[in-house]
Amino acid sequence: MRYDAAIIGAGAEGLAAAALLAGAGVKTIVVERSERAGGRATTREFHPGFRASPFADELPPIPADIHWALDLSRRGAIFRPAPTSTAIWPDRQSLLRARESGASSVHSFLRNAAERASDLRARATHDSNRAPQRSFFSRPAVPASWPCEDWMAASLAEVLAREIGDPDMEAHLAAAALRGWVADPFLPGSALHLLSLQRSGTVTGGLATLADALVSAAREAGAEISLGRDATDIRHAKGRVSGIGLADGSEIEARAVISTLDLKRTFLSFFQWNALPKEIVQAVGAFRMAGTTARVLFALDTVLPGAKRGAIYVAPDLEQLAAANSAWRSGTIAAHLPVALRVADDPSLAPAGSAVVTATFGAVPYRLFDGAWTREKRDALRKQALAALESAIPGASAHVVAAEVIAPPDIEEALGATDGDLAGGEIAADQMLSAGPWPDFPFPRSPFKGLYLAGSWLAMGATCAAGAAVARIVALDLAKGALK
């Protein structure tokens, strides 16, 4: 059976792309390895009665047009902006109230960061409209200047010192920008991480509700969603793709293949290396990816009435972020990992009279210098999370009845993210947008005709945006007859 578009991966991006493509009359199939759709937008029971989203508490915002186009509210995905975050030091605390209190420098700074992120997205859209004209082997095109050129060369610490001027608030914002990631805040270029300071949100009932809504949108539009089928290779000949091969030996023929996996996984596991041009293997090999995130899920047998809602950063400190980065680079678990706690404020996630708390660590290496991720090393993470919990909410750690540690290798296994890298690549000026591995084939296109990329790493801080972008381009290319 021949499809117009085959999508690998039923995460938020893949489902959004499927819904939009099918809605435009494109015959679409989504292939997902796991038995459940959703990717990182998932919620599962980690202890009897206790549920949590294992890979993220919050998702970046869904752009309003996509939200309406997919009719997500009617399908039950009620997106709630994340509450104000808090930073707690042993002797004091700072509230990121800026969003509410209109006039402060923090408020205008956050607005500036959000504007820059949306400018960058607009720029990415603009770039993707540029049709590829030259071959991969020609000299690279020149990336024109970007809306965020100044942050590209500035350090996070420098920008915050200039714009904020209050050390506590600077440390708080730096911790928020680097939540779950790693960077040296004093290194030029790290200011790009500030782009992630936008208002993210949760979904009532856990992130899985969003996945269910997207599945319903896609199915209703006529897309086929095929779960539990593992794609193993992308069939191609003479520089254009013709379909995907599956683990069970079957094949799906398609005029366009959309991969929602990261760059490395897409090219290094779906293609045979010797079948790829050397230049592509080199460009993909040079793309820097590394896991940084680990999570600990806690089940507590008590409610925490006084606890702050929203993310709680425990003793954020710029020097400590820099030290954690050095430790991460050398493959060790820092003594003080940057950590963000979140007390689940959704009553449907925990039984009555109990609570779920998640801890998100940044600067956790995928490869440890002294070998594999053993039980002791996971235990070290659990202890750091417990200590953070105790200092943020005194007395809470005694009520912990269960804990689950999710280390970078677990993320890789569950989501197929290379090295457990949830960002899909280091956030650096030389691998974003048109400066990526193939400047002449602006994302979502690739050097292969008919192969499109739509991982969340291309969404530039907006859920479903990469899926919507790829849907637009694929529909356009199909209509133009470019993929006959």
- Which residues sit at the interface with other proteins, rule CB under 8 A? 140, 142-145, 152-153, 155, 158, 161-162, 184, 186-189, 282, 286, 288, 319, 322-323, 325-326, 329, 428-431, 435, 439
- Alpha helical stretches, state H, 368-437: 375-392, 408-415
Nearest distance, CB of residue 142 and other proteins, angstroms: 4
Nearest distance, CB of residue 258 and other proteins, angstroms: 27
Nearest distance, CB of residue 330 and other proteins, angstroms: 8
CB 67 within 8 A of CB 17: no
Nearest distance, CB of residue 430 and other proteins, angstroms: 4
Our CB check for other proteins shows the closer of 286 and 482 to be 286
Our CB check for other proteins shows the closer of 101 and 135 to be 135
Sheet holding 86-89, edge to edge: 92-95, 86-89, 311-314, 339-343, 355-361, 294-300, 400-406
Nearest distance, CB of residue 290 and other proteins, angstroms: 13
Whose CA is closest to 365, among 380, 343, 350?
380
Our CB check for other proteins shows the closer of 55 and 366 to be 366
Nearest distance, CB of residue 292 and other proteins, angstroms: 15
- DSSP, res 376: H
Our CB check for other proteins shows the closer of 6 and 322 to be 322
CB 229 within 8 A of CB 247: yes
Our CB check for other proteins shows the closer of 132 and 143 to be 143
Nearest distance, CB of residue 184 and other proteins, angstroms: 6
Counting Cβ atoms within 10 Å, is residue 251 exposed (0-12), middle (13-18) or buried (19+)? Answer: middle
Point out which residues pair with 361 in neighbouring strands: 294, 339
Question: What does each C-alpha distance from 181 to 85, 136, 397 come to in angstroms?
Answer: 17, 32, 25
> What is the distance between the alpha carbons of residues 286 and 458, in angstroms, rounded to a whole number?
18
Question: What does each C-alpha distance from 196 to 120, 177, 179, 199, 307 come to in angstroms?
Answer: 12, 6, 9, 9, 25
Nearest distance, CB of residue 119 and other proteins, angstroms: 17
Our CB check for other proteins shows the closer of 68 and 273 to be 273
Nearest distance, CB of residue 322 and other proteins, angstroms: 6
Q: Residues in the chain, how many?
A: 484
Our CB check for other proteins shows the closer of 152 and 380 to be 152
Nearest distance, CB of residue 431 and other proteins, angstroms: 8
Residue 54, C-beta contacts closer than 8 angstroms, at least 6 positions apart: 42, 44, 46, 295, 297, 404, 406, 414
Our CB check for other proteins shows the closer of 50 and 146 to be 146
- DSSP, res 438: -
Whose CA is closest to 420, among 126, 55, 13, 59?
55
Counting Cβ atoms within 10 Å, is residue 306 exposed (0-12), middle (13-18) or buried (19+)? Answer: exposed
Our CB check for other proteins shows the closer of 139 and 375 to be 139
Our CB check for other proteins shows the closer of 146 and 271 to be 146
| Helix (H) and strand (E) counts in the chain | 13, 18
> What is the distance between the alpha carbons of residues 217 and 206, in angstroms, rounded to a whole number?
18
Block residue for tokens 């969404």 = 459
Nearest distance, CB of residue 250 and other proteins, angstroms: 38
Residue 164, C-beta contacts closer than 8 angstroms, at least 6 positions apart: 105, 106, 109, 170, 173
Our CB check for other proteins shows the closer of 215 and 432 to be 432
